[in-house]
């Protein structure tokens, strides 16, 4: 691992640390029971702000073989809500740009072809680009032509040499993960036709800060974007931000439209102006967030420790990355949290990274009846509390940690 000395976008050395979440294991690295108690790899989880281009980014560069080495293959088609969202999006694009058999739609990080198949059905040529073998093979099986590769300037040049130019390029939930962000954006400039459009979806930093959702910060997410930071990044490669929509997925995201000719919509101008008014181009905005985050940590730790000292038993719900980040940051380990329940059977029986907390089935709650249930998946808090009505009826109480720890 290497600590960042220069901004990954503009290369400036003027980086301010705006948030320190401490040393953390990789948030998805669940521990096998046989390895509990053995040392785990941990890395600083610090967030930096570039004083020159305003880009917010994590401080450590972790080699991809460590970062993604243990990931389970991830197939987007298993997420029904995503399929509906993607289909609506694809059909909207076909109509908006009048796409037909002479056009080419490219998707970067195309996974198992769940989005591109909607264009294939309409007779529109497509190409997916994705480095993961299993999902790329699954995509080809449903007729979505897929190149198994990382997308960058080299990949884009090779496609152009084959005579390919994209009228539309889509990249959903990948912009935040790519370390070499300049090489990545340059690839779009190379592959895009002169009148083409590229669309990116990614979590919006402003929504993260408004919700105090600091637990969505972990090593796999290298970047946290504002429009203020994206404009110079795209401009460097001859691309213009032209339109934006705020969309209600992943806790609040942006869908950004980029092209080779300038032409900002009024709603894009408005959102950029709002960022300026909020101060997203200066460190003070982020320092305020950092103080809120530290207060959540202190208040949550005190709340849980007081309950445990009074003889109460506390379990938690949701063995996902965000839960690992929150518990590690607040140092709430196996001595105070009895276990974490999760609906994913592949996680049950393992342990939370860095915490020595076992993961159990959701049914454990009714058998064991802990006094309190800390909802780590707080963004689904209402749904989880409704599902666990029997637990509440039997006297169980819920704790929501964010935006401010509370027993509900
Ligand atoms: Zn910068």
Give the CATH number of the domain where residue 388 resides. 3.40.50.720
Cα 125 to middle of ligand 1, angstroms? 37
Cα 56 to middle of ligand 1, angstroms? 8
Cα 288 to middle of ligand 1, angstroms? 21
Q: Please indicate, yes or no, if residue 312 is contained in any of the structural domains.
A: yes
Q: Please indicate, yes or no, if residue 399 is contained in any of the structural domains.
A: yes
CB burial class (10 A; 0-12, 13-18, 19+) of residue 397?
Answer: middle
Cα–Cα distance measured from residue 29 to residue 313, given in angstroms and rounded to the nearest whole number: 26
Q: Which residues contact 139 (CB under 8 A, 6 or more apart)?
A: 110, 111, 112, 113, 116, 128, 130, 146
Range of the domain at 347: 300-407
Cα 199 to middle of ligand 1, angstroms? 22
Cα 15 to middle of ligand 1, angstroms? 8
**Rg from Cα positions in the chain:** 22
Q: Please indicate, yes or no, if residue 403 is contained in any of the structural domains.
A: yes
Are 27 and 220 a contacting pair, CB within 8 Å?
yes
Q: Please indicate, yes or no, if residue 335 is contained in any of the structural domains.
A: yes
How much is the pLDDT for 229?
98
> Which backbone phi and psi does 213 adopt, to 5 degrees?
-85, 55
Q: Please indicate, yes or no, if residue 226 is contained in any of the structural domains.
A: no
How much is the pLDDT for 249?
84
CB burial class (10 A; 0-12, 13-18, 19+) of residue 363?
Answer: exposed
Cα 90 to middle of ligand 1, angstroms? 33
How much is the pLDDT for 74?
65
By C-alpha distance, which of 214, 143, 155 is closest to 187?
155
DSSP E strands, 51-125: 56-58, 60-61, 105-108
How much is the pLDDT for 2?
80
198, β-bridge pairs: 169, 258
Measuring CA to CA, how many Å separate 189 from each of 83, 147, 238, 367? 28, 19, 7, 57
Q: How many domains does the chain have?
A: 1
Buried b (16+ CB within 10 A) or exposed e, 151-174: bbbebbeebeeeeeebbbbbbbbb
Cα 201 to middle of ligand 1, angstroms? 21
Cα 52 to middle of ligand 1, angstroms? 5
CB burial class (10 A; 0-12, 13-18, 19+) of residue 356?
Answer: middle
How much is the pLDDT for 73?
56
Cα 7 to middle of ligand 1, angstroms? 5
Whole-prediction pTM: 0.93
pLDDT beneath 50: ranges in the chain: none
Are 226 and 252 a contacting pair, CB within 8 Å?
no
Q: Please indicate, yes or no, if residue 243 is contained in any of the structural domains.
A: no
Cα–Cα distance measured from residue 129 to residue 132, given in angstroms and rounded to the nearest whole number: 9
Q: Please indicate, yes or no, if residue 361 is contained in any of the structural domains.
A: yes
Cα 49 to middle of ligand 1, angstroms? 8
Q: Please indicate, yes or no, if residue 110 is contained in any of the structural domains.
A: no
Cα 176 to middle of ligand 1, angstroms? 15
Cα 262 to middle of ligand 1, angstroms? 22
Neighbours of ion ligand 1 (CB under 5 A): 7, 9-10, 12, 50, 52-53, 55
């Amino acid at each position: 691992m290497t600590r960042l000395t220069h901004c990954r976008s503009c290369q400036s050395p003027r980086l301010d640390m705006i948030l320190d979440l401490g040393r953390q294991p990789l948030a998805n690295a669940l521990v096998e029971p046989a390895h509990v108690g053995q040392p785990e790899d941990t890395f600083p989880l610090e967030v930096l702000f570039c004083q020159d281009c305003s880009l917010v980014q994590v401080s450590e560069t972790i080699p991809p073989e460590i970062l993604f080495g243990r990931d389970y293959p991830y197939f987007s088609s298993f997420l029904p809500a995503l399929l509906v969202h993607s289909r609506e999006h694809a059909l909207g694009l076909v109509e908006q740009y009048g796409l037909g058999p002479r056009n080419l739609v490219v998707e970067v990080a195309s996974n198992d072809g769940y989005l591109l198949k909607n264009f294939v059905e309409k007779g529109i040529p497509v190409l997916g680009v994705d480095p993961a073998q299993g999902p790329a093979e699954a995509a080809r099986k449903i007729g979505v032509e897929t190149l198994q590769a990382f997308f960058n300037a080299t990949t884009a040049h090779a496609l152009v040499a084959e005579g390919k130019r994209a009228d539309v390029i889509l990249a959903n939930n990948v912009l935040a993960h790519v370390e070499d962000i300049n090489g990545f954006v340059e690839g779009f400039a190379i592959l895009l036709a002169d009148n083409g459009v590229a669309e990116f979806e990614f979590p919006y930093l402003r929504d993260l800060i408004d919700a105090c959702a600091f637990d969505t910060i972990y090593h796999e997410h290298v970047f946290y974007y504002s429009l203020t930071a994206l404009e110079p990044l795209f401009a460097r490669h001859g691309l213009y931000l032209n339109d934006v929509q705020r969309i209600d997925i992943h806790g609040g995201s942006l869908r950004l439209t980029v092209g080779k000719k300038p032409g900002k919509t009024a709603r894009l101008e408005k959102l950029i102006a709002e960022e300026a008014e909020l101060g997203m181009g200066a460190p003070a905005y982020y320092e305020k967030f950092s103080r809120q985050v530290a207060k959540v940590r202190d208040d949550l730790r005190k709340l849980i420790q007081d309950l445990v000292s009074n003889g109460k038993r506390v379990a938690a719900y949701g063995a996902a990355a965000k839960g690992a980040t929150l518990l590690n940051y607040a140092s709430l380990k196996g001595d105070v949290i009895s276990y974490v329940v999760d609906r994913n059977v592949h996680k049950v029986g393992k342990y939370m990274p860095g915490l020595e907390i076992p993961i159990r089935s959701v049914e454990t709650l009714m058998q064991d009846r802990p006094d309190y249930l800390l909802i780590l998946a707080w963004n689904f808090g209402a749904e989880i509390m409704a599902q666990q009505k029997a637990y509440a009826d039997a006297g169980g109480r819920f704790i929501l940690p964010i935006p401010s720890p509370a027993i509900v």
